[in-house]
Every structure is written in C-alpha cells, then in structure tokens.
Copies of this chain bind each other. A is one copy, B any other.
Amino acid sequence: MVGVVTTPTSFPPAAQTASEPATISPEQYGVGARFTLSVYDSDYVRIILGALSECDASGLTVETNDISTFVSGSEQRVLSYLRDVIAAAAASGAHLSAAILLSRGCPGELACALPPGVPALGAAPIALPETGVRARAHWSLYPLLDAGADAGAESVSAAPQDHMAPIYAAIEGAKASGVFSGSDHFATRLDGDLALVLETVANAWIGVGCVVQHVVTHLTVSINSPTLISDETPA
C-alpha cells in the first residue's frame, strides 16, 4: 500500500508462531476497515450522522473524516459495526452505496510494518444476523505481493503456491451461500441480504489471510437502487 508508516509497531519477536496467534491483537496485526458511505439524498448529513451515532462502537477504534471512516478491532466487531451502520442508513429508504476496504496483515501503509517472522494469521469466521436489507455488490479480493511476501515466515513464503486454493474456496463459499450473482470485469457480483454479503466477503478475506499475510478486499455495495441507470453504454 502506498503511504508512510504512521502506526507504531510493537510486535512480539519472531518467535511468534501461527499456533500462538493470541499474543498479536487484531489492532497490532492491522485488522480493520475503511469505508465511505454515500447517500444519494439531499438529507444525507442527517442520515449518515444518525446511522453513525446509533450504532454500537464498543471495542472499536472509529475515526471519521470527510473522505471515509476507519474502523479497527476484531473481525467480528468490525463487520458487525459495518452491518449496523449501513443497515441503519438503509432504513431511511434513500439510495446509498458503500465503498468498503477490509485489510489485515499490514498495520502501516507503505511497506508492511510487520517484522519478518510474523506468520499469516487467520481468524475465526464471523457471523452476522440478517438485516432484511437487500444489497447488490461488486467484490474484489487481493492477496498482496508486498515486502513481507517473500521475507520471513514459512507460511508467507509458501503463499505463492498455496494462496489460490482459498480464493477458489471463496468463490465456492459465495456460491454456496447463495449470494454469488455473476462475474464482471475486475469484480464478482454479489446479491443478497446485506449481512450475508458482508459475511461472505469477510470470511473469504479471513480464509485467504490464513496463508497470505497481507490481504485486502474491496466491496462496493448498492442499496435501495431505483436501477434508473440502464445497462446501455452511454452514447
């Protein structure tokens, strides 16, 4: 990722192994999200601030600025918060989109701030209660080739050979969950309850994270769309 490392890194030494993940917190491992909630309505300020204020952010670091909102914490808490905020905004009935980035394995921005020897760390799958809100989305999943990818832990150096398996598994998982809706250029289309869409994406990201240290996934969700923009190519 482009950027200058701003997050202090206070990781345990390289003796850390995959069988002892508990000593690295999700925050230390860079587990978190950045999302932009866009409301296609002139009353957007009330809708967005209302959604942010009524959701439970306990156990999380949440920082909102004029471009996006950063959320850090455990996988389950981060995704629960995203579900709650987006569903709350959707309850307004307004058309909205959310551009969501989930990242793990890189608490900084430029080169991975994780020292060599930190293995790829997965996590338990998350589960979210249904929302009753239908979401259509474009999804991309990125195992990253950064400095950590060829330096250090066995699980990371093994990644180039092994990481496609969990990606294929992610596709199968999306199909099994019923949210897979087709393939477009650069992205997979998902369609289903907002909670199930987020759950599918997050569990694929966690799954690839078991074999690749630094994994990012991007999701653009569309809700309450009048589908007024046709499939026609603009003239």
Show the binding face of A for B, using Cβ within 8 Å.
Answer: 1-7, 30, 32, 34, 36, 38-45, 48-49, 52-53, 55, 57, 61-68, 70, 72, 95-97, 99, 101, 103, 106-107, 109-111, 136-147, 149-150, 159-161, 163-164, 167-168, 170-171, 174, 183-189, 204, 212, 216, 218, 220, 222, 225-235
- A234 and B97 within 8 A (CB): no
CB distance from A153 to the nearest CB of B (A): 14
Cα-based distance from A160 to B225 in the complex (angstroms): 42
Chain A binding site: helix, strand, loop or mixed by DSSP?
mixed
Given A64-B231, A67-B136, A187-B3, verify A144-B144 contact (CB < 8 Å): yes
Copies of this chain present in the complex amount to: 2
| B110:A171 contact, CB within 8 angstroms | yes
Find out whether the CB atom of A220 lies under 8 angstroms from the CB atom of B68: yes
A162 to chain B, nearest CB (A): 11
* Contact partners of A107 in chain B: CB under 8 A: 185
The reply to whether A204 and B138 contact each other, CB–CB distance below 8 Å, is no
Bound complex: CA of A103 vs CA of B140, how far in Å?
A: 11
> Which of B2, B4, B39, B225 interacts with A140 by CB under 8 Å?
B2
- Chain B residue numbers with a CB within 8 Å of A231 are 63-65
Q: Are A101 and B186 in contact (CB under 8 A)?
A: yes
A145's contact among B64, B66, B149, by CB below 8 Å, is which? B149
7 A-B interface contacts by CB (under 8 A): A1-B187, A3-B188, A64-B231, A66-B136, A66-B222, A142-B144, A143-B146
Contact yes or no, B229 A48, CB < 8 A: yes
Q: With the chains together, A147 CA to B99 CA distance in Å?
A: 26
Q: Which one, B57, B186, B229, contacts A66 given CB within 8 A? A: B229
